[in-house]
Amino acid sequence: MFKKIDHVEIVTEELERSVEFYTGVLGFKVKFRDRVPLPNDGALDIVYLDLGGTAIELLTYGGMPAEPAPQKLQLGYRMMALEVDDMKATLEYLKGKGVDPVWGPVFREKYDRAEIRDPNGYHIELRCWHR
């Protein structure tokens, strides 16, 4: 019945800046774009991105104001995590792209962990498993 997580939705007011970050910095590929008409001459712009079979759906509600992401710990969904091959190399690469960690890195026996933020302020965990 249930097969997998299909995608994670991210609402943004800066669609193209977000697309550039996820494709140009994190290596996602654009699967396709869509535009859905909304009442009152508005439109929902959607960009589907893929990274290794995991999808993100970036959304912007043409001109409709959106509340900013919570900046404190709360119950419910918190962030997505990307698995990386080498934490130190990944953080060096990101630094070259102007992206610094906002938490960590922490190096543990079984894993390394750090967090970055996307252009919308959403946290993204970076996880390197030691196998």
Q: How would you write the pLDDT of the chain (131 residues) with one tens digit per residue?
A: 768 888 999 999 899 999 999 999 999 999 999 999 887 778 899 999 999 999 999 999 876 666 766 677 776 777 899 999 999 999 999 999 999 999 999 999 999 999 999 998 899 999 999 98
pLDDT given at position 103: 95
> Measuring CA to CA, which residue among 12, 26, 8, 47 is closest to residue 121?
12
Residues 48 and 93 in one domain: no
pLDDT for 105 equals 97
Residue 1 lies in a domain: no
Residue 97 within any structural domain of the chain: yes
96's tokens: 């070259």
CATH number, residue 12: 3.10.180.10
Structural domains counted in the chain: 2
Same domain, 19 and 55: yes
Its pTM stands at 0.86
DSSP state, residue 13: S
For residues 49 and 84, state if they share a domain: no
Provide the residue range defining the domain that includes 120: 80-129
pLDDT at 72: 75
In a domain, 74, yes or no: no
Closest CA to 79 of 50, 37, 113: 113
